[in-house]
Amino acid sequence: MVSRDFFRFNTTNTISASTDDEAILDEAVAWCDRSELLFSRVDPASELFRLNRAEGRPTDVDPELATFIETALSYCERADGLFDVTMGSATQRWDFKQQVIPAREDMAAALRHVDYRGVSVEGTTVTLRDPQACIDLGGIAKGYIADGILALLRERGVEHALVNLGGNVAVMGGKPDGTPWRVGIRKPLPSSALPLLDSFATVSVRDGSVVTSGVYERAFERDGTLYHHILDPRTGFPAQTDLLSATLVARTSLDADGLSTALIIMGADRALAFVEADPALEAVFVTTDGDVLATSGIGDAVPFELLG
């Protein structure tokens, strides 16, 4: 196995693959660079930035971006709008680093431009029917990119690999020794409060993805209220939920990434029911009371082990 650590998407990433050809890893990193030029909301050189500045005009974009937007819209529908790719007008009013909280009236104005149903894709032409709408793919792009890296490695003859895009983990082929990959589920505390690899549980996966969303990262407290980055599309403010974290285990990283945030917003009961209804998904939840909940198949199809 050879590994490559690199910084993209505002986070540290790792690719490990059963190859001695460093050029393959170069290709994987280049795929990430290309993805940023397609999907970044803030990079003026990106295709998405150009689309968001089109003021509602039908815009011909890179075919890959058009296809991905169409795919992302299907996840919005699947999550009943609790995941919405047009949240850009709302998310850009928050600054969690500088602890900027938008005014209620400003957020109400922003929410008038949030509705994924106002986006249409016809071939390579994308139209935002609301000229002030803004697409933000940050809640799903890493899943798509992780799947793309694994596909590239597979095409190059790699049989075993692990991709970790800032905690968004996708694996294939198991480990070279024949055992499954063991992916840790981090304790629901900020990165600054615990070692990077401090986990409370692990799941064993041979081929698939493990993605965790939580209210503890990119968060700050003000006057006794926790403000976290998981925004409810219905309010534009941090979701009021009884979940600290939701870890989704799926065959594809796109599924795991595209649905994990919505599960947080759903809350424990609805999230459990949602995942149980889909045989392709398993999940582990941590509630605000400190309870750990797991779906019925987690210890069978996806072995699950509590640590300590």
Per-domain residue ranges of the chain: 47-128, 180-306
Other CB atoms within 10 Å distance of the CB of residue 174: 16
Q: Residue 193: what pLDDT?
A: 52
Q: Angle of helix 22-39 relative to helix 141-155, nearest 10 degrees?
A: 150
Distance CA 35, CA 151 (A): 14
Predicted confidence band of residue 112 (pLDDT cuts 50, 70, 90):
very high
| Residue 197: per-residue pLDDT | 56
Q: Is the dihedral of CA 157, 158, 159, 164 positive or negative?
A: negative
299 vs 111, residue with greater confidence: 111
Give the span between the Cα atoms of 19 and 80, in whole angstroms: 42
What is the pLDDT, as a whole number, of residue 299? 74
Which CA distances in Å does 252 have to 61, 102, 205, 208, 268? 25, 35, 12, 6, 23
Contact 123/76 with Cβ under 8 angstroms?
Answer: no
Bigger pLDDT: 188 vs 69: 69
pTM of the model: 0.92
Q: Per-residue b/e over 34-69, b at no fewer than 16 CB within 10 Å? A: ebbebbbbeeeebbbbebbeeeeeebebbebbbebb
Please, what is the average pLDDT of the chain? 93
Enumerate the known binding-site residues for Mg(2+): 139, 257, 261
Query: What are the pLDDT digits (tens) for 232-291?
Result: 999 999 999 999 999 999 999 999 999 999 999 999 999 999 999 999 999 999 999 989
Q: Give the CATH number of domain 180-306; options: 3.30.465.10, 3.90.1560.10, 2.40.30.60, 3.10.520.10.
A: 3.10.520.10
pLDDT, greater one: 11 or 152: 152
Domain 47-128 has CATH 1.10.3980.10: yes
- Matching fold, domains 47-128 and 180-306: no
Tell me the per-residue pLDDT of 72-105, one tens digit each, with 9 for 90 and over: 999 999 999 999 999 999 999 999 889 999 999 9
Q: In one letter, which amino acid is 176?
A: P
Kindly tell me the sign of the dihedral angle through the C-alpha atoms of 237, 241, 244, 249: negative
DSSP annotation of 188 reads S
The position carrying tokens 């020794």 is 177
Residues of 217-246 as b/e, b for ≥16 C-beta within 10 angstroms?
bebbeeeeeebbbbbbbeebbbbebebbbb
Residue recorded with tokens 């499954």: 180
Binding residues: 139, 257, 261
* Structure-block tokens of residue 15: 């690719």
Q: Determine the 3-state secondary structure of 145 from DSSP.
A: helix
Whole-angstrom distance, CA of residue 29 vs CA of residue 18: 16
DSSP state for residue 49 in the 8-state scheme? H
Whole-number pLDDT of residue 306: 80
Residues in Cβ contact with 67 at an 8 Å cutoff, skipping those fewer than 6 apart: none
The letter for the amino acid at 197 is L
Distance CA 128, CA 115 (A): 10
